[in-house]
Amino acid sequence: MTAITRKDAPVAVEGDGVELRVQSIGGGMSVAFVQFPEGTDMGPALKGLADDLCPCPHWGYLIKGRLKMRTPNGDELYEAGEAFYWPPGHAPVALEDCEYLDFSPTEDFERVLEHIKAQGSY
């Protein structure tokens, strides 16, 4: 069994108030502790991926704030207190300061994080 706290997870992406702390938890999955300040738009950092959207699925819980998720089928809104599943093909925009916890396939998420870092946005 594995347990991890936010403070123990290493920072994978950081800058302009954005912080993603990510740790593999076994079973091919990783946990991410994410903070986006109001106004954060991850769309530019995802440019160059399939359809310029995140190709990784995420399961999680929005702890704080409101988040708009751009998808090929239109925007979806999420609020604090909601559990979520985001299938491949999304780009988050923070409508308020947001914090969430998500679980994702490690290999898929690592590729997305490497792409984001290569964009030089964070």
Task: Residue 37: give the domain boundaries.
Answer: 6-119
Asked if the structure places residue 1 within a domain, the reply is no
The distance in angstroms from the start CA to the end CA of the chain is: 32
Q: Is 78 within a domain?
A: yes
3-state helix, strand, coil split of the chain in percent (to 5) is 20, 50, 30
Residue 107 inside a domain? The answer is yes
- Looking at residue 33, which CATH number applies to its domain? 2.60.120.10
What's the domain count of the chain?
1
Q: What is the pLDDT of residues 27-62, one digit of tens each?
A: 999 999 999 999 999 999 999 999 999 999 999 999
Pick out the chain residues at pLDDT < 70: 1
Please give the pLDDT value at position 121. 74
Q: What is Dmax (Cα atoms) for the chain?
A: 38
